[in-house]
Every structure is written in structure tokens, then in C-alpha cells.
């Protein structure tokens, strides 16, 4: 998986842990991911959540035979944030042949819940 030149690089997302059962990503909260009022943009949280689910999906398939794509995502934005770092903790709730459902908690460096998300990932033959 090559992350160079992708949204990961643009948003400063780093993969801290990646297994079939758990994915942990980090993203700095800087003006790059702020909305105009100076707070973390909800869309940046959603991008982080879907990225975590997609990495998890990728790790659960034979990548030579299948691609994974986000199909649906929802997010509840719990707390605002101006700076620091947020972490996405993604765990699979369902891993099937054609779909997966991932639950993603986004927390800050103080373990405060920032966003709660669920993402459905489709598994598509190449």
C-alpha cells in the first residue's frame, strides 16, 4: 500500500497500527484541517474514519484479487478541537465476503471522544 501523494500525505495521516482486527491512525489538527472558524472540520474527521476502515478492509482481503471501497459512512461529531492530534481506532463489526462494517472512534491525545463513526466497506473483485 503506497500512501505517497494520497490524502494520507495531504492530511498528515499516519498508520500507527494495522492488523485484521484493529487499525490505529493519527492526524495532526492544524489549520490545514480546520473549518473557517478555526476548529477541526467534520469532513476531516470523516476522511480519517474512512481511511481507517479502508486500511482495515485492505488488510482483510487478498489485495491481488480484491479492491475495497467505502460504500457508506456516518459520523457523530461529539467534541470540537483546535489543535493537537486525533487518533482513529477502527475495529471490524462484520467481515463478510462482499461487505465489511467498521466502527471507528476518534479520540484526542487526552483520550477525549471527538467523533464516533461507522463505515461500510465493499469488497470488489479486480
Mean pLDDT, each 10-residue run in order, the chain (126 residues):
88 97 98 97 98 98 96 98 98 98 98 98 97
What pLDDT shows up at residue 4?
Answer: 85
Query: What is the assigned CATH class of domain 7-125?
Result: alpha beta
CA neighbor of 105 nearest in space, from 86, 85, 90, 121: 90
Q: Any catalytic annotation for residue 50?
A: yes
Q: Which three cell numbers stand for residue 1?
A: 500500500
Structure confidence at residue 2 (pLDDT):
79
pTM of the model: 0.96
Q: CA–CA separation, 67 vs 58, rounded Å?
A: 7
**Measured on CA atoms in the order 60, 63, 64, 69, is the torsion positive or negative?**
positive
Give the per-residue pLDDT at 41.
98
User: Domain locations in the chain?
Assistant: 7-125
Residue among 120, 121, 117 at smallest CA distance from 46: 117
Q: Which among 9, 17, 21, 50 is annotated as catalytic?
A: 50
5: left (phi over 0), alpha (psi -120 to 50) or beta: left
Amino acid at each position: 500500500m503506497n500512501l505517497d501523494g494520497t490524502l494520507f500525505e495531504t492530511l498528515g495521516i499516519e498508520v500507527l497500527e494495522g492488523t485484521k482486527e484493529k487499525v490505529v491512525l493519527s492526524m495532526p489538527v492544524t489549520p490545514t484541517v480546520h473549518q473557517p472558524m478555526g476548529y477541526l472540520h467534520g469532513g476531516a474527521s470523516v476522511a480519517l474514519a474512512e481511511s481507517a476502515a479502508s486500511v482495515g478492509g485492505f488488510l482483510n482481503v487478498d489485495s491481488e484479487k480484491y479492491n475495497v471501497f467505502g460504500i457508506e459512512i456516518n459520523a457523530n461529531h461529539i467534541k470540537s478541537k483546535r489543535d493537537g492530534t486525533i487518533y482513529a481506532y477502527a475495529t471490524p463489526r462484520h467481515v463478510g465476503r462482499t461487505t465489511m462494517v467498521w466502527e471507528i472512534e476518534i479520540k484526542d491525545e487526552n483520550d477525549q471522544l471527538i467523533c464516533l463513526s461507522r463505515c461500510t466497506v465493499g469488497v470488489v473483485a479486480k
